[in-house]
Structure 1
Amino acid sequence: METTATHIAVIYATAQGSTREIADFIGASLAARGATVEVADTEHAPELSYFDAVILGSAVHNRALLPEMDEFVRTHATNLHAHPVWLFSVGLGPALVGPIGRRMGRAVPKKIAAVRDSITPRDFHAFAGHYERAGVSLSARTVYRLVGGTRYGDLRDWPAITAWTDSIAHALKLPAPQATPTHP
C-alpha cells in the first residue's frame, strides 16, 4: 500500500533574516522525515488548502509579531482553523536572564497572545533571535542590559528549535529523519 507524504507549509515574516533561517531549518527537518514542505514568506505564501499542517513564524518588534504576519493571520483565518497550526516567534525575550529578564522572557505579550488565541495553534513557542549591538542606540543597549541581556550576536537555541520541531513531527506521526539538517 502506498502512503502519501504529509504536506506542510512553513510561513514566516522576518525583519533581518533570523526567522527565515529558523523556518528553513524547521522545513528541512520535517522534509528529512518524509514530509513535503514548502517554506515561504507571507508575501509568497502558497494556497493553504493544499496542506495538511501549517507552521507560522514571525520576528517580534515592539512586543508584537510583524504586521505582515498579523495581516496573514487575519486574511487566512478560515484556512488556518481548518488545519493543525503551530506558531513561533523570534525575539529577545527568551535570551534574557536574571529575575527581571526571565520573567519578561516567559510572558507572552498581549498583542502576540491575541494573534495566538485567534488561531488556537497546537503549540506556541518563543525563540531567541539574532541581536547585534551595531546600530542600536545607547538607551536601547542600556535597557537590554538592565533587563538581563548578557551578550550580542546569534542568541538562537538550536537544540530547543530542534526539540520543538521534533514535537511537531511526532504530532504529525512522521517517521524518523533520514538525515540530520544543520542550522546556519
Structure 2
Amino acid sequence: MESKTPRIVVLYATAQGSTRDVAEFIAACLAERSADVELSDVEHAPDLSRFGAVVLGSAVHDMAFLPAAAAYIRAHRDELARRDVWIFSVGLGPSLHGPIGRRIGRIVPKKIATLCELVHPWEYRAFAGHYERAGISLKARGLYRLIGGGRYGDMRDWAAIRTWSASIAQGLGLRQAQSTTVNS
C-alpha cells in the first residue's frame, strides 16, 4: 500500500526578504512532517495542478499585498479556490502596541480581505516583520511611535510562525515532526 505524500507549494512575494524568510521557515516546518514541499516566489510559481495545498504570503505595503502577490491571486483565483489554501502577510501591524496599535494590528486591511474572499483560504494570518529605523523620515518615525511602534529591527515571532505552520500541518493530516531541525 503506497502512502500519499501531501504536495504543498509555499509561495511568497517579498520586498526586502523578510517574507521570503518566513516562507522558507514555513516550508521547512511542513517538510519536517514528511510533506513534499516546494518553495517559490510568486513570479516564478510552478503549475498549481501539481499541488493539493498552497501557502501564500506577501509583504504588506500601504495596507495591501505587494502587486505581484495580488496579481497572482487574481490570475489564479479559480485554481486556488479548488485547493487547500492558507494565506499570510508580513508587515508592521502585528508588532504595534498600546491601545491604538493593538486595534490597528487586528484590522485586516480591506484590499487583503478582498483578495482572501476570492480564494476562501482556511486561514489568513498576519505576522510582524522587520522594520529598520535607517532611512525613515522623522515624520514617519513620529507616526510609528504614535500608533504604538515600540522598537525597530526584527520583530518576527518565530514561535507563532511555527505554531501556525503546525496548524497547517494538522489541517492537512501530516504526521508529527520527527525532529526539531527548524530553528528560530
TM-score (norm 2): 0.98
Paired letter, 2:182: T
Shift of 1:181: 3.5
1:75 equivalent in structure 2: 75
Ranges in structure 2 where 5+ consecutive residues have no aligned partner: none
1:98-137 mapped onto 2 (5 Å cutoff): 98-137=98-137
Structure 1 runs of 4+ aligned residues shifted over 6 Å read none
Q: Deviations over 1:65-86 (max 9, x none)?
A: 0000010001111110110100
For residues 118 and 141 of structure 1, what CA distance do their matches in structure 2 show? 35
Amino-acid identity (%): 58
Report the Cα offset of residue 183 of structure 1: 4.3
Check conservation: 1:58, 1:66, Cα contact below 8 A.
Answer: yes
Q: CA separation in 2, counterparts of 1:74 and 1:108? A: 18
User: TM (normalized to structure 1)?
Assistant: 0.98
Compared CA separation, residues 130 and 183, structure 1 to 2 (3 A): farther
User: Cα offset for 1:179?
Assistant: 2.1
Residue 84 of structure 2 is matched in structure 1 by 84
Question: Which runs of 5 or more structure 1 residues have no equivalent in the other structure?
Answer: none
Root-mean-square deviation (CA, aligned residues, Å) is 0.9
Give CA-to-partner distance per residue, 1:87-108, whole Å, 9 cap, x none. Answer: 0000000000000000000001
Equivalent-residue separation in structure 1 for 2:16 and 2:180 (angstroms): 25
SS in 1 for 2:59: strand
The match for 1:178 is 178
Q: In structure 2, how many angstroms separate the alpha carbons of the residues matched to 1:180 and 1:66?
A: 32
Say if 1:32 and 1:177, in contact at 8 Å, map to a contact too. Answer: yes
2-structure distance, mates of 1:18, 1:135: 17
Q: State the 1:182 CA deviation.
A: 2.8
Per-residue CA deviations over 1:86-136 (Å, capped at 9, x if unaligned) read 000000000000000000000011111111111110000000000000011
Contact 1:60 1:91 in 2 (8 A): yes
